[in-house]
Amino acid sequence: MKHLFGMAELERPQIERLLALAESFVELSRRPLRKAPTLRGKTIINLFFENSTRTRTSFEIAGKRLSADVINISAATSATKKGESLLDTGQTLAAMQPHVLVIRHGIAGCCQFLADYLPQTAIVNAGDGAHEHPTQVLTDLLTLRQHLGGVAGKTITMVGDIAHSRVARSHLIAANTMGYRLRLVAPKTLLPREVERYGCEVTHDFDAALAGSDVLYMLRVQQERLTSNFAFPSVREYHEAYGLNRRRLAMAGSDCVVLHPGPMNRGVEIATDVADGSQSRILDQVENGVAVRMAVLTTLCGGGD
Ligand code: NCD
């Protein structure tokens, strides 16, 4: 593995290897002394042009827990604010010889684009526009491995803004690779065009999609990517039709697992008592996010066997 651009380039055995490695890092992260020398002498730059709490912090902790030198740059403090192009910023940082560049940016495909110009640097996509977010999906797969014993043959019902979600797009790809079913629930305005070509079930009726769901995966409405204010009539109506509440969770059953990649908008896509309830694995996702990023960084730096 030279880069990680998306789930599209990962085969099932590679995914299984990353998850197994991540599992060992979950264990490391629970020890009193949370440090291993694996990435000593490696330099990792986190370059974030979009807002982030979980992803940026977990990449930073992941690198530091493995003894790498980690540098964080956010768009607000970078020279792009002075008019520098993404390519110039990338080439400038690459000239300082980091081993890995972790990038979050609003433009889909920007990681592949930069990789063509930066042959010495491994690039990790930490979310590129509405395109892919592979480390989030690996995080989800690890969480479901812990709580359901794996995803093969399971049904994940994903609800909300599918159209603008890079998490949804990465899951649409991973579902084929890993053999799980995705059931999509959204208003028509929040579904990707030609959604049928993914070959998954699509419905506008959340209640009808609950039975048989092993996982309810709730998504935030990506206001920053909406081109119209009229994707749905009002927050109240959205919550009525597409919000996960106690009544709906009861219809899905007591074994159903609730996931959300964060950040949550409580009272919009998810009710507070469900977000904090016993079936929610949302904070496990966050914990696993560190371990998955440790596994990705280790693999890209030539370790991991
Ligand atoms: C997601 C993202 O940025 O794509 N969050 C994350 O990385 N944990 C989802 C979102 O922003 O809604």
Task: Determine the Cα–Cα distance for residues 295 and 19; give it in Å rounded to an integer.
Answer: 8
Span 94-130, pLDDT tens digits? 999 999 999 999 999 999 999 999 999 999 999 999 9
Burial of residue 195 (CB within 10 Å: 0-12, 13-18, 19+) is: middle
Q: How many helices (H) and strands (E) does the chain have?
A: 11, 9
Residues constituting the chain: 305
**pLDDT for residue 178 is more than 70:** yes
- Give the CATH number of the domain where residue 91 resides: 3.40.50.1370
Span 260-283, pLDDT tens digits? 999 999 999 999 999 999 999 999
Using the atom order of ligand 1, give the atom closest to the CA of residue 166. Answer: 4
Using the atom order of ligand 1, give the atom closest to the CA of residue 165. Answer: 4
Please give the tally of structural domains in the chain. Answer: 2
Statement to judge: residues 129 and 141 lie in one domain: no
Query: Residue 78 has what pLDDT?
Result: 85
What is the edge-to-edge ordering of all strands in the sheet holding 69-74?
69-74, 43-48, 100-105, 122-128
Confidence class for position 305, pLDDT limits 50, 70, 90: low
Domain of 27 in residue numbering reads as: 7-133+286-300
* Residues framing ligand 1 (Cβ under 6 A): 54-55, 127, 133, 136, 166-167, 220, 261-262
Task: Determine the Cα–Cα distance for residues 250 and 7; give it in Å rounded to an integer.
Answer: 32
Statement to judge: residues 148 and 268 lie in one domain: yes
Task: Determine the Cα–Cα distance for residues 295 and 218; give it in Å rounded to an integer.
Answer: 25
Residue 98 lies in a domain: yes
Residue 305 lies in a domain: no
Q: How many Å lie between the centroid of ligand 1 and the Cα of residue 200?
A: 22
Statement to judge: residues 138 and 267 lie in one domain: yes
Statement to judge: residues 276 and 290 lie in one domain: no
Q: How many Å lie between the centroid of ligand 1 and the Cα of residue 165?
A: 8
Q: Are the C-beta atoms of 107 and 50 separated by less than 8 Å? A: no
Statement to judge: residues 263 and 167 lie in one domain: yes
Mean pLDDT of the chain: 96
Statement to judge: residues 142 and 184 lie in one domain: yes
Residue 190 lies in a domain: yes
**pLDDT for residue 229 is more than 80:** no
Confidence class for position 75, pLDDT limits 50, 70, 90: confident
Span 77-102, pLDDT tens digits? 888 888 999 999 999 999 999 999 99
Residue 200 lies in a domain: yes
**pLDDT for residue 57 is more than 90:** yes
Q: Are the C-beta atoms of 152 and 12 separated by less than 8 Å? A: no
